[in-house]
Amino acid sequence: MHLASHLLLLLAGLLVTSHSQLLPEHSSQGHLGYQEAPSTGEGSPGLKVAPGNTVFALRLYHVMASQSPGSNIFFSPLSISSSYALLSLGARSHTQTQILEGLGFNLTEVSESDIHQGFQHLLHTLHLPGDGLEVHAGSALFLSQELQILPGFLNDSVAFYESKPFLADFHDTEGTTRLINDHVREETQGKIVDLVSGLSTDIAMVLVNYIYFKALWEKPFVPSLTTPQDFYVDENTVVKVPMMLQDTEHHWYLHDRYLPCSVLRMDYKGNAMAFFILPNRGEMKQVEEVLTPEMLTRWNRLLQKRYLYRKLELHFPKFSISGSYKLHQILPKLGFVDVFSQKADLSGITEERKLQVSKSFHKAILEVDEAGTQAAAATGSFITFLSARHSRGVLRFNRPFLVVIFSTDTQSILFLGKVVNPTKP
């Protein structure tokens, strides 16, 4: 007779770097056949998962936006997708199919082994040293001392997802809570604290994922030019924000002739960039409706054309926002159904108990200042330019806008969000 046990997923994302007792080293030879991550470049395994990751990121954004239309949104789709891809190593039958298809993968076009090798390569690429860019992503498994984990799952989680396994006593809820929170705090340079609380004794495993991203602008702002200015949250709400200014630099930007928005491309030092999408007055919903992988591809293609690299008077807020989400309430809307129910088949993790995911949390933090961006995650009346003709060369981010942070090497979205009120942390 199987005993019902629960698995808790904690996802965190932030812009920081990382550095407790670990389980002994495991062989890197898992049941899928571990392969050394090859070099980056066209045709690399990491690029096979990039389209699915983008589809998942935007699907998840649309669900979050529909549930909280007037709120800040910020999350790391990569933290979430890599965590559930790791979990799928131990899933079987419909549970596994729902997870992988929910993550945006067409299983007739990309195999399970391609997915895991793609994530392995993607994480390897992100960890390569870059000039002025720090990215650190990883996972940790906190396992009950009483749980007999199948070696294949443990080995594959280490090989493909660089997961760190810890033994924990879930009867000592206070001690285990402290162990998990201390690890996340250390890996996120103190940005994500108290990710977990109120652990119950029926939990058998906790999966934690984190991503830390710290980047410097290719063209930093001058702090002495930052001044308090109005930010128009909506027709009835105006707040004061520190507004940064650049008025002598050239940037990649466009006023979309087909959509009611402008798009600014800001490069970071190293292999990362951000799109900041500024809808016209009162047009956020219309822009969100066309936020698709195809539209991001179109903007990316256009913002490489030389004629769109022009001198710009740029006004951009200095701010910090965060997002906390209960994924067990959100992901079922994307097809993740069985894994959160008694129908869950996670028999690839252990055969001695029936596991299901009871709760899944994600927390992410974004900080933007004159020098650059910090982001972290753990899996927790408008003033506008009237037209390009009247205010050409001026871009004021003084109303709600969208942000997409990319890794250019892996063509993956690291962070995605919407800044509605930059004064709300």
The reported pTM is 0.85
Q: Which pLDDT tens digit goes with each residue over 171-191?
A: 899 998 999 889 888 888 888
Shared-domain flag, residues 179 and 285? no
Residues 142 and 259 in one domain: no
Residue 31 and residue 107 share a domain? yes
214-252 per-residue burial string, b: 16 or more CB within 10 A, e: under 16:
bbbbbeebeeeebeebbbbbeeeeeeebbbbbbeeeebb
Q: Around 90, how many Cα atoms within 13 Å sit in the side-chain half-sphere? A: 29
Give the integer Cα–Cα distance in Å for 254 and 257. Answer: 9
Q: Would 425 be classed as within a structural domain?
A: no
pLDDT band at residue 12 under the 50/70/90 scheme = low
Note whether residue 424 is domain-resident: no
Tell me, yes or no, whether 19 and 127 share the same domain.
yes
Verify that 172 and 239 share a domain, yes or no: no
Task: Let me know whether 212 and 246 are in one domain.
Answer: no
**Same domain, yes or no: 332 and 211:** yes
Residue 55 lies in a domain: yes
Work out the mean pLDDT of the chain and round it to a whole number.
Answer: 83
Q: Residues 81-121: pLDDT tens digits?
A: 999 999 999 999 999 999 999 999 999 999 999 999 999 99
For residue 176, give the H/E element and its range. helix 173-187
* pLDDT at 35 (0 to 100): 45
- Say whether 49 sits in a helix, a strand or coil: helix
Give the DSSP H/E element, type plus range, for residue 164. strand 163-168
Report the alpha-carbon angle 290-295-300, nearest 5.
Answer: 150
Task: Assign residue 142 the CATH number of its domain.
Answer: 3.30.497.10
Q: Which domain holds residue 181?
A: 3-217+321-367
Whether residue 347 lies inside any domain: the answer is yes
Q: Indicate whether 374 belongs to any domain.
A: no
Whether 9 shows a pLDDT value over 90: the answer reads no
391 confidence band (pLDDT: 50, 70, 90): very low
Work out how many domains the chain is built from and give that number.
2
Q: How many CA atoms lie within 13 A of 85 on its CB side?
A: 32
Tokens of 20: 């407790």
Q: Give the up-direction half-sphere exposure of residue 147: CA atoms within 13 A in the CB hemisphere.
A: 33
Residue 142 has pLDDT above 80, yes or no: yes
C-alpha to C-alpha distances, 370 to 17, 68, 243, 251, nearest whole angstrom: 19, 29, 10, 16
DSSP string, 290-340: T--HHHHHHHHHHTTSGGGEEE-EEEEE-EEEEEEEEHHHHGGGGT--GGG
Q: Is residue 338 part of a domain?
A: yes
Cα 153 from Cα 31, distance rounded (Å): 8
Domain contains 250: yes
Angle subtended at Cα 183 by Cα 177 and Cα 189, rounded to the nearest 5 degrees? 130
DSSP-assigned letters across all residues of 231-246: EEEETTEEEEEEEEEE
CATH at 410: 2.30.39.10
Co-location of 158 and 290 in the same domain: no
* pLDDT recorded at residue 73: 95
Same-domain check for residues 260 and 153: no
338 Cβ contact list (under 8 Å, min separation 6): 94, 95, 98, 344, 345
- The reply to whether 373 falls in a domain is no
Do both 252 and 358 map to the same domain? no
Q: What is the pLDDT of residue 390?
A: 34
What's the pLDDT tens digit per position in 354-364? 888 888 888 88
Q: Kindly indicate the confidence band of residue 30, based on its pLDDT and cuts at 50, 70 and 90.
A: very low
Same domain? 355 vs 398: no
With a CB cutoff of 8 Å and minimum separation 6, the contacts of 207 are: 7, 8, 9, 10, 83, 86, 87, 139, 140, 141, 142
Task: For residues 72 and 176, state if they share a domain.
Answer: yes
Instruction: Compute the average pLDDT of residues 210-230.
Output: 89
